[in-house]
């Protein structure tokens, strides 16, 4: 029986949509599965912009240098070169496809963010860059007859036969029962894991399911200990941890403590424009020093007209919660934002599991090292999403004439079905989620130690003994992978800070952590590997 589709793409953020378009352009049938609605992803929430060396005063080599500096010695040089060089071409392509980046006098408007040496950040509608890119990509994908979308279809498991990923098991959005979908290969673009933490800037769907499924299926993961906490999320009782973009500080916003004193120059010479990990830990240190639960982002040096025009969404959201960005400092504190680690891939999105490709935040190409440079994430999703799609499609012509594996769509006859005792399973999922998120924030968060990590792992092991449904099981799996990797790395580097090992140790630890099911943690000098290419 033939496959139901040629390729399955999990996720409809920038990486998944770009991969789907590349596959469709190669003549493949593509099915895109999303956990929530089609336009719900981390991409949509990206306010800060997309970094690209396209201005007359910039060049790719400078972008490479800034990326490597932020990455704290762990960026893979080849991956960074691909990111910044290919990024120029793909951003131009986005513009040709109708993406409306902000302009001034007809020219693209570039701004600067922390740790960038040049103005190279493109924005759309001030602070809605991700939403505009998703709009343009969905419009482009919707015009492709070979691309179909299946929304509200949470993927629960990757299907592996004869050592090759050949499909997925997902939860049918209509009958709420598991189904299987078979294809020639799967492109994993399911996003990150920020929602594993109690305080996060991420949407609720960012629970690391793709990483957990890849790990369970046998793929290698890398650098899971490196989690980036954004320094400035809205810290107001009764309000979500809304992201207050790095671009606010890029424009000249300053951080003040509870006494109204500016404090960042005491912690780093770059002050508010230091890399995110430094600003985050500085805020934590200042709150600890002053006994306060928040610090304040001060934009009052700018007029309301400028702030409304430059940051319309941020300005309106603050007003919604009774805060006027133009007239009062805004309470902020750090929140989980991005994970540098993920499913280990080569430069074309191939994972160590044959038939499985990955791109975007779910993947680890080595491009971010230990700490992502601001506004490189959208560029990464765009570049490596396209490369993964192209690599996956490369063998399509040779495969189309052969007999295909596959059993067709079917309801999975598991021991439990999604319709069994939905009240009980819903309550269980909520309880597991709340417990894991609290543990991750308190014991695997910004400041870590052997004691805190060991205690977290002990509790995760206890939770995992229960008979968990797939979503809860995936949550615990990813939490465990992050904590195990953090316990393994006995140094502080980038987004990983150990209070019991507070210094960076290049002699012993300038390596990537590699973790695989039943194989423990090993180290590698590079993320890139010799991928298995089969047709």
Residues 42-97: pLDDT tens digits? 555 555 689 999 999 999 999 999 999 999 999 999 999 999 999 999 999 999 99
Same domain, 249 and 109: no
Residue 291's pLDDT band (boundaries 50, 70, 90)?
Answer: very high
Task: Mark whether 259 and 317 lie in a shared domain.
Answer: yes
Please identify, among 350, 376, 404, the residue that sits at the C-terminal boundary of a domain.
Answer: 404
Does residue 163 sit in the same domain as residue 75? yes
Q: Is residue 534 part of a domain?
A: no
Distance between CA atoms of 280 and 453, rounded to whole angstroms?
20
Same structural domain, 112 and 212: yes
Considering the domain architecture, whether residues 32 and 156 belong to the same structural domain is answered as yes
- pLDDT band for 130, please (50, 70, 90 cuts): confident
- Residue 368 — φ and ψ, nearest 5°? -95, -15
Lowest-pLDDT choice from 105-109, 362-366, 400-404, 461-465: 400-404
- Per-residue pLDDT of 137-182, as tens digits, reads 999 999 999 999 998 899 999 999 999 999 999 998 888 889 999 9
**Structural domain of 107:** 7-225+340-404
- pLDDT category of residue 259 using cuts at 50, 70 and 90: very high
Write down which residue in 305, 333, 361 finishes a domain: 333
Q: What is the DSSP string of 401-445?
A: TS------SEE---SS-TTTTHHHHHHHHHHHHHHHHHHHHHHSS
Domain boundary among 315, 333, 351: 333
- The enclosing domain of 328 has a CATH number of 3.90.700.10
Classify residue 527 by its DSSP letter: S
Triad 185, 189, 193: Cα angle to 5°: 135
353 and 237 share one domain: no
Q: What is the mean pLDDT of the chain?
A: 90
Residues 370, 325, single domain; the answer is: no
Cα(352)–Cα(155) distance, rounded to whole angstroms? 20
Tell the burial category of 461 from Cβ atoms under 10 Å away from its Cβ (0-12, 13-18, 19+): exposed
Q: Which two tokens stand for residue 459?
A: 């509790």
Residues ≥6 apart with Cβ < 8 Å to 269: none
**Phi and psi based region of residue 106 (left: phi greater than 0; alpha: psi -120 to 50; beta: remaining):** left
- 107 lies in some domain: yes
Report pLDDT for 397: 58
* pLDDT tens-digit series, residues 88-110: 999 999 999 999 999 999 999 99
Answer whether residue 420 shows pLDDT above 80. Answer: no
Widest CA span of the chain, in angstroms? 72
| 515 falls within a domain | no
The DSSP letter of residue 372 is P
pLDDT-based confidence at 247, cuts 50/70/90? confident
At 427, is the pLDDT very low, low, confident or very high (cuts 50, 70, 90)?
confident
- CB contact at 8 A, 479 and 457: no
Same domain, 158 and 290: no
Question: Is the distance from CB of 242 to CB of 297 less than 8 angstroms?
Answer: no
Q: Are 30 and 24 in contact (CB under 8 A)?
A: yes
Q: What are the residues whose beta carbons fall under 8 Å from the beta carbon of 266, sequence distance 6 or more?
A: none
User: What CATH number is associated with residue 199?
Assistant: 3.50.50.60
Task: Provide the 3-class DSSP secondary structure of residue 227.
Answer: strand
**pLDDT of amino acid 535:** 45
Give the CATH number for residue 446. 1.20.58.100
Look at residues 42, 31, 33 and name the one whose alpha carbon lies nearest to residue 342.
42
* C-alpha to C-alpha distance for 406 and 404, rounded to whole angstroms: 7
> By the 8 A CB rule, do 268 and 274 touch?
yes
Same domain, 54 and 182: yes
285 located within any domain = yes
Greater confidence (514 vs 49) lies with 514
Q: Which stretch of 128-132, 209-213, 349-353 has the lowest confidence by average pLDDT? A: 128-132
- What is the domain count for the chain? 3
CA distance 120 to 376: 11
Catalytic residue among 112, 179, 249, 276: 276
Mean pLDDT of 233-259: 93
The pLDDT of residue 400 is 54
pLDDT at 419 over 80: no
Contact residues for 286 (Cβ-Cβ < 8 A; gap 6+): 257, 263, 267, 292, 295
Q: Looking at the structure, do residues 367 and 278 belong to the same domain, yes or no?
A: no
pLDDT at 8: 98
135 is a catalytic site residue:
no
| 417 confidence band (pLDDT: 50, 70, 90) | very low
State whether 148 and 80 are in the same domain. Answer: yes
* Same-domain check for residues 133 and 184: yes
User: Is residue 533 included in any domain, yes or no?
Assistant: no
In a domain, 2, yes or no: no
Examine residue 414 and state whether it is found in any structural domain, yes or no. Answer: no
Is position 411 within any domain?
Answer: no
């Amino acid at each position: 029986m033939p496959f139901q589709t040629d390729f399955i793409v999990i996720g409809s953020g920038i990486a998944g949509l770009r991969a789907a378009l590349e596959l469709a352009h190669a003549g493949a049938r593509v099915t895109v599965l999303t956990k929530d609605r089609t336009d719900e992803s981390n991409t949509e929430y990206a306010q800060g912009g997309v970094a690209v060396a396209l201005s007359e005063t910039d060049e790719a080599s400078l972008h490479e240098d800034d990326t490597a500096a932020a990455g704290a010695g762990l960026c893979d040089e080849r991956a960074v070169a691909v990111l910044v060089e290919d990024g120029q071409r793909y951003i131009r392509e986005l513009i040709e496809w109708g993406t409306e980046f902000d302009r001034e006098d007809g020219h693209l408007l570039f701004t600067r963010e922390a740790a960038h040496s040049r103005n190279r950040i493109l924005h759309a509608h001030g602070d809605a860059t991700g939403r505009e890119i998703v709009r343009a990509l969905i419009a482009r994908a919707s015009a492709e007859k070979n691309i179909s979308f299946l929304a509200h279809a949470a993927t629960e498991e990757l299907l592996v036969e004869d050592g090759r990923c050949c499909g997925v098991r997902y939860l049918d959005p209509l009958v709420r029962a598991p189904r299987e979908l078979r294809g020639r290969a799967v492109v994993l673009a399911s996003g990150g894991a920020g929602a594993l933490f109690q305080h996060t800037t991420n949407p609720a769907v960012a629970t690391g399911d793709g990483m957990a499924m890849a790990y369970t299926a046998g793929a290698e993961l890398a650098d899971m200990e490196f989690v980036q906490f954004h320094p400035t999320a809205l810290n107001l009782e009764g309000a979500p941890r809304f992201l207050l973009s790095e671009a606010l500080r890029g424009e000249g916003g300053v951080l003040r403590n509870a006494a109204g004193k500016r404090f960042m120059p005491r912690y780093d010479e770059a002050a508010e424009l230091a890399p995110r990990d430094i600003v985050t830990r500085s805020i934590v240190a200042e709150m600890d020093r002053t006994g306060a639960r928040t610090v304040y982002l001060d934009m009052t040096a700018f007029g309301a007209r400028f702030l409304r025009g430059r940051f319309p969404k941020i300005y309106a959201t603050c007003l919604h919660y009774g805060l006027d960005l133009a007239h009062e400092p805004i309470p902020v504190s750090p929140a989980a934002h991005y994970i540098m680690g993920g499913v280990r891939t080569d430069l074309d999105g191939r994972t160590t599991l044959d038939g499985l490709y990955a791109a975007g935040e779910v993947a680890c190409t080595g491009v971010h090292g230990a700490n992502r440079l601001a506004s490189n994430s959208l560029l990464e999703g765009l570049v490596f999403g396209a490369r993964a799609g192209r690599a996956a499609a490369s063998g399509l012509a040779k495969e189309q004439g052969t007999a295909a594996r596959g059993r067709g769509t079917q309801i999975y006859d598991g021991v439990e079905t999604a319709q069994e005792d939905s009240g009980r399973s819903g309550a269980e999922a909520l309880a597991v989620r709340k417990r894991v998120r609290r543990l991750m924030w308190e014991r695997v968060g910004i400041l870590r130690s052997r004691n805190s990590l060991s205690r977290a792992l002990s509790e995760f092991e206890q939770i995992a003994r229960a008979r968990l449904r797939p979503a809860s099981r995936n949550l615990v799996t990813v939490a465990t992978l992050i904590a195990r990797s953090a316990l393994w790395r006995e140094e502080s580097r980038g987004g990983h800070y150990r209070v019991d090992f507070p210094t960076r140790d290049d002699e012993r630890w300038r390596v990537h952590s590699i973790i695989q099911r039943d194989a423990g943690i090993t180290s590698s000098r590079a993320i890139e590997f010799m991928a298995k290419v089969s047709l």
